[in-house]
Amino acid sequence: MRFKTMLTLALIVALAATAAVAGTPKSDGRTDIETFQRMNRIHGDAFSARADFQGFEGGVIPAGWTQTIVNPARTWGVSGATSVGALEGTYCAFVGYDLTVFQNETLSFTQAIDVAGGESVLSFWMAGALGTTWDLNVAETVEVNGLPVFDFDSNVTAHMTYEQYFVDLGAYDGQTVTITFRYEGVDGDLHVLDAVMVDDGTGYSPPPPPPPPANDTCATAIDLQEQGLASFQVDLCLAAGDYSAPSGGCTGYTSAGNDVVYKIYLAAGEAFTATETGTHDSALWVVTDCANTAGTCVAGADDTFSGDTEIVSFNAPAAGWYYLIVDAYGTGACSLTTVTVDAPVSNENTSWSNVKTMYR
């Protein structure tokens, strides 16, 4: 769904933000050293022979690239704040739509084509509109020396989702060509471009996401007594949202955010206290049955707001395993989170707080 008025305002803000946060542009049309090193880590030594990559991480139109500007208010720019975001790094190139004023905006660079040297295939990641009443109001094309070689509308398969495309430039071997990205029409939609590369056809692939925490689910909960830490951090943004407290239950609210699980064995009557502090709106609850988390909550807290600390404290009503769910209130909410625990140590009748006192 697109709300044109809101998106227009967002693009104006993004353009202003680009000017405010722009970094140092790259010194030429080739790859800066930071990107080169990152790409070498991703692709290995083979990238050394494939150094023509542009991720727009300078924060502005790259040095050596040129523009044709017909509508100065809606032309190609570089931003780290588009609604689609960047595929690689922080920034991407983008052009916003104009409801009434015609646009014919181009972004170009020159490239020496060398088949033997592994620089003969253009690849890039694009995202734009599909399946709307306005997506065909504009044409988004790629040209080589002024001749169209790629049409976005004929290739896109997903709305506002980055997809990778390849164009074989082998026919231009030995020549230096001008490669142009064109956005033409009126009343279209946001269009974004990132990770432009000329290589042997391998192209840029985003690195895989980091693995989730080992205790992402109740089945693999970390034993707090074995871990033996009175305070530790966990990044909930790497976890999934597997559990939600019932509305009106032990926390008072649902908890649809990302979560991880810890466990502890308590004897009847033993005391347990835990806290959770993150930049998100935290939720903290304790259950006795992994198969029925919503129905076996014995203690919980969601009394504060974003950035505040939640505290759960209770005495075990019976001996057994108790599962601490470190959670968040909002859907998908997460942050780097600090957890503290004060509970019996597994091998002696004392608490972590007392252990800490002995070493002060």
What is the pLDDT at residue 38?
A: 53
What is the pLDDT at residue 347?
A: 52
Q: What is the DSSP letter of 48?
A: G
pTM of this structure: 0.64
- The sheet with strand 320-328 has its strands ordered as 222-223, 260-266, 320-328, 282-287, 297-301
User: Which residue stretches of the chain have pLDDT < 50?
Assistant: 1-33, 36, 42-50, 348-360
Q: What is the pLDDT of residues 4-38, one digit of tens each?
A: 233 333 333 333 333 322 222 223 334 444 554 55
Contact 298, 322 (CB under 8 A): yes
Cα–Cα distance list, 300 to 217, 253, 273, 359 (Å): 18, 10, 11, 31
DSSP string, 166-208: EEE-GGGTT-EEEEEEEEEESS---EEEEEEEEESS----PPP
Q: Give me the residue spans of the domains in the chain.
A: 4-199, 218-358
Contact 230, 352 (CB under 8 A): yes
Q: What is the pLDDT of residues 133-173, one digit of tens each?
A: 999 999 999 999 999 999 999 999 999 999 999 999 999 99
218-358 in CATH: which number? Answer: 2.60.120.380
Beta bridge partner(s), residue 121: 168, 199
What is the pLDDT at residue 352?
A: 47
Cα–Cα distance list, 177 to 114, 166, 183, 211 (Å): 11, 16, 20, 42
Q: How many residues does the chain have?
A: 360
Q: Note whether 4-199 and 218-358 share their fold.
A: yes
Cα–Cα distance list, 121 to 49, 144, 171, 179 (Å): 13, 12, 10, 12
Contact 301, 311 (CB under 8 A): yes
Give dist(CA 251, CA 247) in Å, integer. Answer: 8
The vertex-95 CA angle with 89 and 23, nearest 5°, equals 40
What is the pLDDT at residue 42?
A: 47
Q: Which fold has domain 4-199?
A: Jelly Rolls (2.60.120)
Give dist(CA 172, CA 178) in Å, integer. Answer: 11
